[in-house]
Structure 1
């Protein structure tokens, strides 16, 4: 009984309590019960971190940027924010404003930067192709991991809760353990109620294990105190610093990757935890958060894949016999492109990180550039070259803000083609940048959805010669700005939903050609006002809803070309044939039944198309137009062709296919310039011609003559 009293209950159950304490503290140090919201993220992060640390691209990128001086970094183009102040304000050189991409302000420094590029790339291409692909995959993994983790702070909250739990547990263990330690003694006084048996009421007892048990508990308290101090320090660390925000400011200062973004929430917390282990990990990890680093990797892979020889194989000749190169959906513009010095046309499509370097100055034959959804950045030397040499520019965009601002400063530009949305969501015009610096621009082509002619186009009014607006079915309501463009010689308004000829056009006294095709024009009574436009020679009204030609058409005396195909005409007025200078008349694809006899008055007529109508008879008067070179009569109801067709000695193109003919007149042989390629007719009708006529038509046409065919 004395021994039982001398031994406290705590000493009996100490091993079991220690086991329970250990289990609780272990649980408070793990994330497994929150899987996959916490533990899987941490495991994934550690896995990515290890791969980023060991990646050859990390070492190569850091060693590369460590050699670059901060002054050189400013000279290198990385975006609009690197624009030197004096470059943005230089009006004399026509340099871009602050929102424009730029490079070095001094020519010598630009050349140094460009030379550095040439030296850099061969040094970096020693990166193994497999390592390059792995690095690209790491960039994608880091991007996805950031998007997955940065939107919450669950790991941080759970870590704080666990640390608080461990601290409270430590304090609780410490309190009751220290209380019971004091109660354990080697000597113990025992007073059992057994005097009637032994004759003694008090005993002096000793506990042989008390000494060791006390030392064991003191050691346990010491260990618990160490553990508790760590928990307290962790709490101090947790609440002393903003652990849900992580800045790579030092990394940005030490490297050229100035675009490494600051992160937040659980992503930031994990990086703070990594810093407690080794700050070098987060520094190397930051390389894979930089778009500049990713673009540099893409550039190296791009230049390795697209060599000069491969690019040369993709160069083609277009219909105008000009050398052309089309690059589509690449990560950038390969450096070898700028070594194609004989290239005349360069097309860049869907290249978001296109960068035009100073090496483009080697391409002295380049006069035409296409940027399709490609907001290209240019270095200053490259801009100066483009400003002085570029003649034609095509830009396709989704929003007008995507048009590079340096485009508006190409003072030598002759032609500009803009294709994209020029209206905002509320249908108000988004103003283009000022066009007044385009001093030599002659042709402007807009394919968009305008509701009015942009007012900034009037900046071009002193020198603009041709304006084309293709509105893609959006109704063009306001055209008053046209009145200020007095030097305009050619105007095209396509798919603008026009119902009448706009009155603003009658103020353009220098207008020579007017194209209003693909609208909803029903009446052209205003055509009488064209008599005041003394220089008007060409009028195109195809693909409309015109039902009649007014008699006043005869007042437009200088008209040389008239296009009225694909309308709803049923007849042609006699006054139409009182235009002495008319050389080109197209009334095809209407509902015309009769060709007026007055057609013979058009002595200057060289082209006459009336195919796709309901004509039954070809009047002999038509063959008085001896200057005819092209005569299209196909797809009508013609049963015979007059023999007088032989009077058309200059005829080179004759279309008769789709009629009710049973034979062709032999007089076709008198059309000395007519060849088989220019004669569009059914084969059996051609076979019905006399042999000598077929020989005459077949000669010099390259058609073999055999078996009477």
Structure 2
């Protein structure tokens, strides 16, 4: 039996080449694999099983017929009675098995139609030709080097974190300066930048809207090292473009192989349709061997005729689908202008007017990448969906040049997490994500379409923002009227704190949870503005001393409070006014004494107290007055139990266990 793995090399391609394989090429590859399996299966049957089985056919002579009539009249038999056939005898040699094996072989060669004999081999050969033809332009000496070079640069462009504007600065094309030029000035003839392959793939991403609410500053100039790398990539693409645009060899090779597949499809359909009925079970055969066996005529059975007939019809159907796909490819090739590629949309939306259009093979490869983009991005994004800690279906995107259009087609999406993605725009199509409730922005600068702002104001319930620069804080977050949870992480200077006071949170009427991981020195007034409905407040201060905590007294609805790493030396007295407080976490502070813990007895609802990672030296006896306390944490503290309060200390240890 022929192992299928022997043919695997014909169907496999280098993974990098797949970026230039449109959906119809991928589909025909699958069809070729199925046809290859039919051919291999048929060839295996030809080798493993008997091909044909023959039996002798008896005949009667004229003299015999007259004798039979006389006998019938004498015996008063009916004329239509069955005749008695004369048995023939040949040379007796005890070689019956060898004789009929010889007859089977002779009849297989002489009487069986050639299509019934060679059908599996025809399928195998045709399929291998289809496979070679479909990938010939990847391996042709005049085109393979160009394709490999293009794919390597394309990978570097997509892996780079640089924006188109930053690359234009490095290459000496400052778009802001060009905007001040007169419209009559001639357009520069500079070559395409590395952003061009990216731009076209992001052209389908549609990340720039018609109307923008928030304007963010442009990308900063790259540092020296990154600038050198970007310029090297720019020069590499420049030289490649000058070389590739000289001819259209890739386009011609692809057109020729497509035309060849169409012609081959028509030939296969034509002759297979006319010959498929030649595959029959019963075959009559005449072999001049009567001197040996006594018989000349034989009746044979083609043992695989029924199976081969079914396989041939199945093969014809597959070839028909393959041919229709090739016809569609031909239509796409000749209907569209694939030797020109325009960046008009990108020029309009980015303001970079010096991006020239490309032609010939460079344009053709960009068109092929477009077809790859439209093939399976939806499925790839769906594979990245996973449940987050809040039991929401989340999609995480990291270091992309833009937001894919297909993100907004995932209607089941509930949480969107964007990391290190700059100068992007959330378009109006975000309104298609009716289940979107959570948005995370980690070191991102973005803009919002007007429709997107309206949609987020009504739907968003959780917002997480991690920023390095204060300007990355989105101003539109203060208008999210249905926002329930807000998490801000980043360094806030004193000036930024004043800005937070000015940018009041009082419009967030549904806000219940607020988390600040920063370096504040006091609780901003903006937090007090939402104190009437705020239930959870988390302040992680990264070691900066937090003073002036009197504002806490106004937050009477708090049920959960965390003051972590705030350099507190004593428990703030303002906490004792929070009568609805249920959980209090004072982790990683500098608490040495907790004598005032007795005041917690007024907090009737307090069930959890966390004093871990502190410098507490002594556990007072009056801690036993906290009757409502259920959980007490002293882990990683320096608490010492006095001789008089040993029993109490053991009690607290049991609580924290």
Q: TM-score scaled by structure 2?
A: 0.45
Mark the structure with the bigger radius of gyration. 1
Higher helix fraction (1 or 2): 2
Q: TM-score scaled by structure 1?
A: 0.42
